[in-house]
Amino acid sequence: MAVKVAKFGGSSLASAEQILKMKQIIDADEARKFVVPSAPGKRFPDDIKVTDLLYALHDAALRLDDTKEIYQKIVKRYTDIRDELGLSIRIEEYLEKMYEDIRTGASEDYAASRGEYMNGLLIADLLGYDFIDAADVIFFNENGTYDAKKTLAILPGALKLHERAVIPGFYGSLPNGKIKTFSRGGSDITGSIVSRAANADLYENWTDVSGFLMADPRIVDGPKKIDVITYRELRELAYMGATVLHEDSIFPVLEAAIPINVKNTNDPKNSGTMIIPAIEGRDGAKEGITGIAGKKNFTVITIEKDGMNAEIGFGRKLLGCLEKFGLSYEHMPSSIDTISIVIADVRVRGVIEQLIDEIHAQCQPDSVEVSSNMAIIATVGRGMIRQIGVSAKLFSALAKNHVNVRMIDQGSSEINIIVGVENDDFEKAVQAIYTALV
């Protein structure tokens, strides 16, 4: 029989009402043997995700502030869900243990992980599925990176022992047994890992939109849906800000080539978006673009030096400066005599002046210019580069809308054009590109 892994995001599980939609989806297809839940998310726009409440609780405990109010909010989220679902599980016991642990020095990751852990307990109870604690089956290396080898040695066997099970998302354990989480949005990665370990036929990622859209629906009004997208395009868009799916969630399923189907819990009949290894027979031949994504808050350092291209070792010296400050960069577009480095604002905060001094000392440039509060926008599409006129249309749309383009990277990657604009122009620029190219 086919096996499907179904991951549900926070808004899909934010209340008893939403959780019942999840149950209907699970009950409708017996292939949905493994369920990966997130913590309860927002029920309405100004609501607070349980994960954010947990971070706040940990923070308050650390600063010896009053923790009661935040704790009571968390208690209410879980007891409301339990009561409205008519379950009898003693969730208070888990809540109390968590509260005690946090007040006696448990880590931030431990605190955050309890969101998924307790939601998993409720959901397993509701579905009548077994509960597998992710701490026992998903592993991290000592340096905090995901340990695929150990996980794939243990998780497949553990899954075989259960006909049907709930495995909470977002966390696992370190070699010393302590809890470790993925980065925010990481339940998507857990879903992918479980899919790989179960050798699933399909990884369903259930969220609150009907698939991957061509642009962020919070910026562009009613963007078109992407029916099919490749792993590579997905990663490019996700990394560049289309946060529907965590950008690292393709790695665990890559080798086994398990397709991912992004679906809407509130509209389960919609076919959503299929994410697949490559598009057979027509890779690169697709008309138009696949999607647009972007994010704010970058610093662009532009270095100018006549004859830079001919100077042996220039690039090495420049990158050496970044290395000295432990900085990784996002992009590095270049032309004959200039090179720009794009780094997240948070990374260079506090060290930018020293970094510039170092660049002056090591590279003797003619000038170094720094612009912070920049946004970067990627326009992605397989074969886009071969289509004459895409970039002309893109740049004339930006000009027409008075967006000042501060950086362009049309580098060697065949599937994207990246532009840098001021933070304040971000939304306008995304809308202009969408209107011109879709």
Nearer to ligand ADP, 243 or 410 (CB): 243
Residue 47 makes CB contacts below 8 A (sequence gap 6+) with 14, 41
Q: How far is the CB of 190 from Mg ion (least distance, A)?
A: 11
Q: How far is the CB of 251 from Mg ion (least distance, A)?
A: 16
Residue 69 makes CB contacts below 8 A (sequence gap 6+) with none
Among ligand ASP, ligand ADP, Mg ion, none, what does residue 184 contact (CB within 5–8 Å per kind)? ligand ASP
39 binds ligand ASP (CB under 6 A): yes
Contact 331, 409 (CB under 8 A): yes
**x-or-dash string of contact with Mg ion, 4-23, rule CB under 5 A:** -----x--------------
The residue from 4, 5, 10, 132 that contacts ligand ADP (CB under 6 A) is 10
The residue from 181, 207, 299, 340 that contacts ligand ADP (CB under 6 A) is 207
The residue from 4, 6, 12, 138 that contacts ligand ADP (CB under 6 A) is 12
Residue 369 pairs with which residues in a beta bridge? 302
The residue from 242, 342, 398, 415 that contacts ligand ADP (CB under 6 A) is 242
Q: Say how far apart CA 230 and CA 278 lie, in whole Å.
A: 5
Select the span of 75-83, 180-188, 288-296, 308-316 touching ligand ASP (CB under 6 A): 180-188
Helix (H, G, I), strand (E, B) or coil at 173: strand
Among ligand ADP, ligand ASP, Mg ion, none, what does residue 218 contact (CB within 5–8 Å per kind)? ligand ADP
Residue 230 pairs with which residues in a beta bridge? 276
Q: Say how far apart CA 297 and CA 349 lie, in whole Å.
A: 11
Contact 197, 171 (CB under 8 A): no
Q: How far is the CB of 179 from ligand ASP (least distance, A)?
A: 13
The residue from 37, 115, 172, 185 that contacts Mg ion (CB under 5 A) is 185
Closest CA to 420 of 431, 433, 409, 428: 409
Closest CA to 295 of 380, 375, 211: 375
Among ligand ASP, ligand ADP, Mg ion, none, what does residue 242 contact (CB within 5–8 Å per kind)? ligand ADP
Q: What is the DSSP string of 281-343?
A: TTTTT--S--EEEEEEEEEEEEEE-TTGGGSTTHHHHHHHHHHHTT---SB--B-SSEEEEEE
The residue from 81, 193, 209, 355 that contacts ligand ADP (CB under 6 A) is 209
The residue from 213, 258, 374, 429 that contacts ligand ADP (CB under 6 A) is 213
Nearer to ligand ASP, 109 or 358 (CB): 109
Residues that bind ligand ADP (CB under 6 A): 9-12, 38, 41, 185, 207-209, 212-213, 215-218, 242-244, 291
